[in-house]
Amino acid sequence: MTRTPSPARERVPLPIGIFDSGVGGLTVLRAIAARLPAEQFLYLGDTARLPYGTKSAESVTRYALQAAAHLVERGIKMLVVACNTASAVAMPALAAEFAPLPVVGVVEAGAEAAVRASHSGHIAVLATESTVRGGAYERAIRARRADARVFSQACSLFVALVEEGWTQGPLVEAVAREYLQPLLTEKTRDGLDCLVLGCTHFPLLRKTILQVTGAEVMLVDSGETVARTIAETLEQRQLACVAGARGRHRFLATDDAERFARVGGRFLGAEIALTDVEQVDL
Ligand code: DGL
């Protein structure tokens, strides 16, 4: 495996590599690209193996290492783990395997934003089953605010609903009420005031979630907040692109490219041309 970009590659600014289990990480790409318009991105969606959120930590770590290795081989200057599940379980393995490449995940950024947003210190995290099981958000939040109370809720069905394009309507609201009911009790009883959208699919359910929780609960999108960490890391390492015309972003998918382009557009908030998507085998 080639870990160091070749001299020929260094003459061309390298893209930021970003991966997720599927199209959900495009919500993260959207937020980062809005903050860093001069940067180019190479996105990999491991659609053939989605969901990661119900898999064991061992499987998710193996998948994450394979996805990252593929991006590194193509030449990237930084790796963004745009999947909460992979960030929650595989960050130490990724950082060790690809050092000195900077590796940034969404969990630390989400925890930081939650601690900043919450007055009461009572924070809820909505995530996948694997993310909740590993307790990474709780640890990251408590490392920043020792007296924080963290309430975690796995919302696995949200992923399937969003993949189907169902983000609003009575059925989605009924599922959200079922998942969020215990959280509403915490809100009334203990002043829960901040909710972390700890899964890349959940920002698309923002409106429905707020309908259930009430607008006084602050929603934190870990994708949006990671953009700041990335900007800072690029500056520190002198890797930032200076303003100028950048090329098109490129997309890799481990399953059908046509579906990736069609469904992915909803997550990215912009059309994805089929010619910009390549199907790859990890
Ligand atoms: N990308 C995953 C995450 O952010 C959600 C989808 C999945 O379960 O793979 O946790």
Q: Which residue among 84, 89, 132 has the greatest number of ligand 1 atoms within 8 angstroms of its CB, and so is best to mutate?
A: 84
199 catalytic? Reply is yes
pLDDT band at 41 (very low <50, low <70, confident <90, very high): very high
Predicted confidence at residue 6, as pLDDT, reads 46
pLDDT tens digit sequence for 201-247: 999 999 999 999 998 899 999 888 899 899 999 999 888 887 665 66
pLDDT tens digit sequence for 74-85: 999 999 999 999
pLDDT band at 185 (very low <50, low <70, confident <90, very high): confident
In short, whether 83's Cβ falls inside 6 Å of ligand 1 is: yes
Name the range with the highest mean pLDDT among 4-18, 90-104, 159-173, 213-227.
Answer: 90-104
Q: Residues 155, 194, 199, 241: which is the catalytic one?
A: 199
pLDDT tens digit sequence for 258-277: 999 999 998 999 999 999 99
Find tokens 């996105």 and name the residue.
43
Q: Does domain 107-221 have CATH number 3.40.50.1860?
A: yes
The mean pLDDT of the chain is 91
| pLDDT exceeds cutoff 50 at 255 | yes
User: What are the residue boundaries of the structural domains of the chain, listed by start?
Assistant: 14-105+224-279, 107-221
- Using the mean position of ligand 1's atoms as its centre, give its distance from the Cα of residue 233 in Å: 24
Predicted confidence at residue 7, as pLDDT, reads 44
**Which numeric CATH code is attached to 14-105+224-279?**
3.40.50.1860
Sequence letter at residue 24: G
Looking at the CA of residue 127, tell me the nearest atom of ligand 1: 10
Looking at the CA of residue 53, tell me the nearest atom of ligand 1: 8
* Alpha-carbon span 193 to 94, nearest angstrom: 33
CA distances from 181 to 85, 137, 188 (A): 23, 20, 11
DSSP readout, 129-195?
A: HHHHHHTHHHHHHHHH-TT-EEEEEE-HHHHHHHHTT--SSHHHHHHHHHHHHHHHHHHHHH---EE
Confirm whether 14-105+224-279 and 107-221 share one CATH topology.
yes
pLDDT band at 95 (very low <50, low <70, confident <90, very high): very high
- Using the mean position of ligand 1's atoms as its centre, give its distance from the Cα of residue 22 in Å: 7
In short, whether 268's Cβ falls inside 6 Å of ligand 1 is: no
Rg value, the chain, Cα:
18
Q: Which residue among 18, 54, 197, 199 has the greatest number of ligand 1 atoms within 8 angstroms of its CB, and so is best to mutate?
A: 199
pLDDT tens digit sequence for 117-140: 999 999 999 999 999 999 999 999
Looking at the CA of residue 85, tell me the nearest atom of ligand 1: 10
- Among candidates 201, 190, 116, 207, which has minimal Cα distance to 161? 201
Predicted confidence at residue 248, as pLDDT, reads 77
Which two three-digit tokens encode residue 16? Answer: 């930021």
In short, whether 47's Cβ falls inside 6 Å of ligand 1 is: no
